Amino acid sequence: MRVITGTARGRRLITLAGDTVRPTSSRVKEALFSILQFELEGRRVLDLFAGSGQLGIEALSRGAKSCTFVDASRESLGVTEKNLDSTGLRASAKTVLSDAVAYLDRTDAVYDVVFIDPPYRAGLLPAAMAAAAPHVAPGGVMVAETATDVTPVPAPQGFAAKPHRYGRTVLTVYRKEGAYEQDGNLPGEL
């Protein structure tokens, strides 16, 4: 697993051994960042269920202003921190040891891009999306990764959904209505 492009291009990322973490495949990650290629520069990113941190790290490498990585596993967050150090992207990152919904319930931060990639069959996606939706800036996006046999989560009010299928994986981009705010007056964490 490597960073595809940007300032950390080609850097190898580590992940937890075993099957406790399911990293996004290279093919799906390339497709995802092709979809978002013009929506990352200078933006605030949230990586929920961060695992190894590869999605948020890719966004930072491509010019995102900041990324908050949230994971309930201390081991996963430790791997994310090692990956941030090895890519030189630690200064633009914040790591949070927390359940995704609990974090969203206690923060007032607003993000331009939110990655939501929970374990496929754990049933965590609907609650995470509902909690994340109020934290998405106007014109921002939430991206959910699911298996093809998982029922898609309907778009929250004020969002439009567009699914993209890649083999056994579906990326659904939920775009919030409104124009992206560039004045920097939205609350943020970094």
Domains of the chain: 26-176 (3.40.50.150)
Instruction: Report the DSSP beta bridge partners of residue 13.
Output: none
pLDDT tens sequence for the chain (190 residues): 899 888 898 899 998 876 556 677 888 899 999 999 999 999 999 999 999 999 999 999 999 999 999 999 999 999 999 999 999 999 999 999 999 999 999 999 999 999 999 987 788 999 999 999 999 999 999 999 998 888 888 999 999 999 999 989 999 999 998 865 554 444 444 4
- Are 111 and 41 in contact, with CB atoms under 8 Å apart? no
Nearest-angstrom CA–CA distance, 60 and 118: 20
Nearest-angstrom CA–CA distance, 163 and 80: 27
First and final C-alpha spacing in the chain: 27
- Are 128 and 117 in contact, with CB atoms under 8 Å apart? no
Instruction: Report the DSSP beta bridge partners of residue 170.
Output: 146, 165
Paired tokens of 152: 């898609």
Q: Note the Cα 179 to chain centre separation in Å.
A: 20
